[in-house]
Amino acid sequence: MTIIKRLKICFGFVLLAMAAFIAPSQANANVSVDFSNPAFAPVTGLTSIPIGHAVFCQTRPEECGPNSSVVNAVALTEQRWRELVNVNAQFNSSIVSVSDMDLYQVEEFWTYANGYGDCEEYALAKRRELIARGWNPSALLIAVLRQTSGEGHAVLMVRTDRGDMVLDNLAGLIKTWDQTPYQYIKRQSQTNAGQWVDIADNRPMATLNVLLAQRR
């Protein structure tokens, strides 16, 4: 074998090794985004933590501290999009929806589902699974909101370079936050999983009703 052929083979192995190293880190790389785009939920300052999440953090402090690596957003490649779709469908079908009152005899209790759970359990399970798949935790944000009926709800909001994608146990399709019929209140901070920030959702109720009618 000539020296040139050997160099080509070695260079090929180097490229393969680099690809294997780079691929898992794609979800942890910073990307440039325009946060004035309405597909990104505008946030203001720090706000109160939901009581259910506060209790959850007391029992699992390791999941509620500052994020060691913060990214603006995750690049939504085709592979990453498939992961969102698969994870959303997986837990929407595997968890049986039961209220916290029926399960735990309290209005609000956040935990990991054991086959049954409320909306928070869906969001927590999806967040944990995406982290296990290599997603940066700072882009996986649980958000609380009101449905047009006035009832409270929680979803997983995933910050991507295409906008804030909503993984919702009440809907099979994943859409950006502004295409969902909810009045958003607050979400986890990107810098600290144990802190929350207000969402400045100024969309009129008429818009939310139109989006709700489109879903039906």
pLDDT at position 39 is 97
In a domain, 190, yes or no: yes
Q: What is the CATH number of the domain that holds 205?
A: 3.10.620.30
In a domain, 68, yes or no: yes
* Residue 209 or 155, more confident: 155
In a domain, 33, yes or no: no
In a domain, 196, yes or no: yes
In a domain, 21, yes or no: no
In a domain, 92, yes or no: yes
In a domain, 150, yes or no: yes
pLDDT at position 209 is 84
Total of domains in the chain:
1
pLDDT in tens, 83-135: 999 999 999 999 999 999 999 999 999 999 999 999 999 999 999 999 999 99
In a domain, 154, yes or no: yes
3-class SS letters over the chain: CCHHHHHHHHHHHHHHHHHHHHHHHHHHCCCCCCCCCCCCCCEEEEECCCHHHHHHHHHCHHHCCECCCCCCCECCCHHHHHHHHHHHHHHHHHCEECCHHHHHCCCCCCCCCCCEECHHHHHHHHHHHHHHCCCCHHHEEEEEEEECCCCEEEEEEEEECCEEEEECCCCCCCEEHHHCCEEEEEEECCCECCCEEEECCCCCHHHHHHHHHHHC
Q: Which domain holds residue 182?
A: 43-215
